[in-house]
Amino acid sequence: MRGLVLAVLVGFALSARAAPEDAVARFDRLAGELVALCVDAPATRCFETAFAAADADDDGRLAVAEIDDLRRDANAWFLARRAELSVREQTVIALSLATLNTAGVARVVAAYDRDGDGALDRAEATADVRLDDRPLPRLVRDEEAVDWAAIRDRLGAVAGAMLPAPR
Ligand SMILES: [Ca+2]
Ligand SMILES: [Ca+2]
């Protein structure tokens, strides 16, 4: 579950602004930049960089379409690079993408969209995480900084929505 949140945060940074490169090349570059930044930089800065990269139209909100573009590119990148990743990385990324692919980005966004405008602003995107000056890899190990129970509740609702309706 921690890996999922990390992968989602990293995923935010892997969005592509208009560029004449294919998805795999864009992801290679952006993932490299983000990993280099977030290993040591304050989690607040890591999140802001990731959010700004994902917010393609710069309106301060992540719309379903913006995250869905990201999901599509992430799938292409994962298929191309899977063999180069560790088993643990493959597992975390595959589970995260499987959740998004199966539940649909709209359902995941809805689980966090407090004001119901169909997009996530910064506060909504970090509702279950208290960011501070610690680097993200350290922050997510602090039970006080990340509300895992709340995340489980929200994603549980998403998983519930994936199940067939009772007859
Ligand atoms: Ca936006
Ligand atoms: Ca919203």
Q: Looking at per-residue confidence, does 13 or 139 come out higher?
A: 139
Distance 96 CA to ligand 2 centre (A): 22
Q: Does 165 score more than 60 pLDDT?
A: no
Distance 84 CA to ligand 2 centre (A): 36
163 — pLDDT class (breaks 50, 70, 90): low
Span 117-138, pLDDT tens digits? 999 999 999 999 999 999 999 9
20 — pLDDT class (breaks 50, 70, 90): very low
Taking the CA of 15 as reference, the closest ligand is 1
Span 51-74, pLDDT tens digits? 999 999 999 999 999 999 888 888
Neighbours of 120 (CB within 10 A): 28
Q: Are 40 and 135 in contact (CB under 8 A)?
A: yes
φ, ψ for residue 121, nearest 5 deg: -85, 180
Distance 67 CA to ligand 1 centre (A): 9
**Burial grade of 25 (CB within 10 A; 0-12, 13-18, 19 or more):** middle
The structure's pTM equals 0.77
- Kindly list the domain boundaries of the chain, sorted by start residue: 2-158
What confidence score (pLDDT) does residue 103 get?
A: 83
Taking the CA of 116 as reference, the closest ligand is 2
What confidence score (pLDDT) does residue 36 get?
A: 92
In three state form, how does the secondary structure of the chain look?
A: CHHHHHHHHHHHHCCCCCCCCCHHHHHHHHHHHHHHHHCCCCHHHHHHHHHHHHCCCCCCEEEHHHHHHHHHHHHHHHHHHHHHCCHHHHHHHHHHHHHHHHHCHHHHHHHHCCCCCCEEEHHHHCCCECCCCCCHHHHCCCCCCECHHHHHHHHHHHHHHHCCCCC
Span 31-58, pLDDT tens digits? 888 889 999 999 999 999 999 999 999 9
What confidence score (pLDDT) does residue 10 get?
A: 61
Q: Are 33 and 54 in contact (CB under 8 A)?
A: no
Q: Looking at per-residue confidence, does 166 or 80 come out higher?
A: 80
Taking the CA of 62 as reference, the closest ligand is 1
Span 140-157, pLDDT tens digits? 899 999 998 898 888 877
Distance 16 CA to ligand 1 centre (A): 12
